[in-house]
Amino acid sequence: MYVAVKGGEKAIEAAHRLLAETRRGDPGVPELALAQIEGQLALAVDRVMAEGSVYDRELAALAIKQARGDLIEAIFLLRAYRTTLPRLAASEPIDTGKAHLRRRISATFKDVPGGQILGPTFDYTHRLLDFALAAESGAAMAAAPPTPADSGPMPRVSTLLGDQGLIEPNPTEPVEPGDLTRDPLAFPADRALRLQNLARGDEGFLLSLGYSTQRGYGRNHPFAGEIRIGDVEIEVVPPELGFPVVIGEITITECEMVNQFKGSATAPPQFTRGYGLVFGEGERKAMAMALVDRALRAEELGEEVTAPAQDQEFVLYHSDNVEASGFTQHLKLPHYVDFQAELNLIRRMRAEWTEPQAEAAE
């Protein structure tokens, strides 16, 4: 009778064994290798690295495998690993202007110095299921086009606008960015901290928020000034050397939105910026991030804060999917003490409600 609250220990152990077996699936089918996940589910790996805040393809692939393909669970695994790592050094700011690009497009100009590069995009595919892929043979694969020679650094579109004074300048003062993982969020949060939060934020949440600004909830008239995907070098300055040393290369996706701005008492009419940057290839996330970044600048630009996407506390407190997933799912933990207290209360209230009615009927 009393077993309802007993046996937790055995139940957990059995559940873990069952999970391991379910994760593996049919043992007659070969097990996934991390290299396969890394190479063939590369965008899943990218998302887990971006929101898990660790640039490590192999660990991300492992997390995806362990999480049975549940990307938010994989992000959680990677975050819980990251939190224990020592902070050895902070890198120098990356220069995306010097990135080796494999994709670069601008929606604001027909042609830009350096040209438009489509790269390996889904954009103009017809979303018809390719049954040839189901055959699992490489025979049907067309030869990839030759990789174009690296055209070298390409100037940013926003720099071209900036040269004519048409867009607000980027802040030039170097600001020591905060670290959300080492200091609790406080409000108002500066832009660097907001961008850090958005970069770790859930893609789906940012996508919907960004979309809401396009539909009128904090509209900010965006144009995709430039989207670039490429590789940048990471440099650190070891204190004993005093000069930067390259420690590796990462892939990033950057989006610069160009937004209309009517001007205010202190600023002339000019374009403003929204910025998005994520690890790996994550164009949808980078664009959504840029929309939300611009929306969150409403107060700074003297615009009225009316929509959820413009509200710092609303956006920054709810963007993290590890936090959101945990707190939403904690509802399945036992709550029977609180529920018992509510049961007692509602029974008492019902009794008090019924009494006068019964008296009236007499």
Partner 1 sequence: MSDAAAGNGSYNFAYLDEQTKRMIRRAILKAVAIPGYQVPFASREMPLPYGWGTGGIQVTASIIGQGDTLKVIDQGADDTTNAVSIRHFFERTAGVATTEQTAAASIIQTRHRIPEAPLHDNQIIVYQVPIPEPLRWIEPREAETRKMHALAEYGPMYVRLYEDIAQFGQVTTAYDYPVVVNGRYLMRPSPIPKFDNPKMDMNPALQLFGAGREKRIYAVPPYTSVKSLDFADHPFTVERWAQCCAICGADDSFLDEVITDDQGGCMFVCSDTDYCRSRQTAQAAE
Binding site for partner 1 (CB under 8 A): 1-2, 4-9, 11-12, 76, 79-80, 82-84, 86, 181-188, 313, 317, 322-323, 325-331, 333-338, 340-345, 348-349, 352
Q: Which residue in 124, 143, 123, 140 sits closest to 132, CA to CA?
A: 140
End-to-end Cα, the chain, rounded Å: 42
Question: Residue 306: CA atoms inside 13 Å, Cβ hemisphere, count?
Answer: 10
Query: 186 vs 361, which CB is nearer to partner 1?
Result: 186
Instruction: Determine contact, residues 227/283, Cβ cutoff 8 Å.
Output: yes
Query: 4 vs 134, which CB is nearer to partner 1?
Result: 4
Q: Minimum CB separation from partner 1 for residue 348, in Å?
A: 8
Query: 129 vs 351, which CB is nearer to partner 1?
Result: 351
Q: Minimum CB separation from partner 1 for residue 183, in Å?
A: 5
Query: 12 vs 132, which CB is nearer to partner 1?
Result: 12
Q: Minimum CB separation from partner 1 for residue 327, in Å?
A: 4
Across the beta sheet with 245-259, the strand order is: 100-105, 222-236, 245-259, 272-279
Query: 13 vs 163, which CB is nearer to partner 1?
Result: 13
70 vs 81: CA distance, rounded Å: 17
Query: 189 vs 252, which CB is nearer to partner 1?
Result: 189
125 vs 145: CA distance, rounded Å: 16
Q: Minimum CB separation from partner 1 for residue 54, in Å?
A: 11
Instruction: Determine contact, residues 325/67, Cβ cutoff 8 Å.
Output: no
Tokens matching residue 202: 């859930």
Give 223's strand partners.
258
Cα Dmax for the chain: 95
95 in helix, strand or coil? coil
Q: Minimum CB separation from partner 1 for residue 73, in Å?
A: 9
Give 250's strand partners.
232
275 vs 273: CA distance, rounded Å: 6
Query: 139 vs 331, which CB is nearer to partner 1?
Result: 331
Q: Minimum CB separation from partner 1 for residue 1, in Å?
A: 6
250 vs 57: CA distance, rounded Å: 10
Q: Minimum CB separation from partner 1 for residue 211, in Å?
A: 23
